[in-house]
Homo-oligomer: A and B are copies of this chain.
């Protein structure tokens, strides 16, 4: 059995158009669990519909997938050769202006929520706003509520100040499910040391991301990407680095326009959004085994590779989602 086959792989984020073929790519690629986005700009009602669609996918493919709600579900999925799907939001938009919706969506199975998606929202500043005023009054209420019910905070598309505020406000560790360090590729979607260090200090995990606009584009090499992970492990220790591929399987061109513009601005027909081209060594979940090989080549030991590919997410998910245990505050 290869190292990849032995490893429990957890993908920190995918935003795919889920179907049996797309899910089968994960199983073939050896992925046992995934944070699956079910809301980006959607409000509460839109998201109910999205969750309904997920329930149907799960009902129709019980041999392949189940909706996961705890860290323990990850090892169960690995043992059963299935995929543990954690429903996640890439925006707090489904919570609208009502903190009670945090518990409502937790009850529906949502276990991870990014606080903002690119833009300012009711909770905090998004990474593409010019200025970020930090976590709002309502945002502080939502963070408390997420802590209480056991929903993991994600800061990937969040502004730096709001990220630091949320790390501090949260009573439990938080995540950046799919971003790289700013030094690797300079974009507001990646994180400076000033965000990563406090995240790590509080026990959080950052998922290094393969999406071309944050990893440097189609020409980034596997050596360079795995070298970044090695440097991250050296700098922050082996327990705080993971993978969040940000795979976007099964979508048409229209969906990338939705991601970019939502309903908040008109699409400029002269500058229609288009999907970026992925590097040839990682075009989807089928290429996860290559990533394992790349980490071996980069010199990481098996224990660290196992932590980066899944162990760290499993630890964090368990710590945050299992609210019956006392939280291990760092």
Interface set of A (CB-CB < 8 Å, partner B): 41, 43, 93, 96-100, 119-122, 125, 128-134, 136-139, 141, 262-266
| B43–A96 touching, CB < 8 Å | yes
Residues of chain B lying within 8 A (CB to CB) of residue A132: 133
Are A125 and B119 CB-contacts (below 8 A) given A41-B97, A97-B41, A264-B99? no
| B133–A129 touching, CB < 8 Å | yes
Q: Which of A41, A125, A133, A263 has the most CB of B within 10 A?
A: A133
Residues of chain B lying within 8 A (CB to CB) of residue A96: 43, 263
Residues of chain B lying within 8 A (CB to CB) of residue A131: 133-134
| A141–B99 touching, CB < 8 Å | no
Top 7 closest A-B pairs, CB basis?
A133-B133, A131-B133, A98-B263, A120-B136, A138-B264, A141-B265, A97-B263
A137: contacting residue among B93, B100, B129, B266, CB under 8 A: B129
| A264–B137 touching, CB < 8 Å | yes
| A264–B98 touching, CB < 8 Å | yes
| A136–B141 touching, CB < 8 Å | no
| B262–A97 touching, CB < 8 Å | yes
| B125–A133 touching, CB < 8 Å | yes
Cα separation A56 to B130 with both chains bound (whole Å)? 44
Are A264 and B122 CB-contacts (below 8 A) given A131-B133, A133-B132, A134-B131? yes
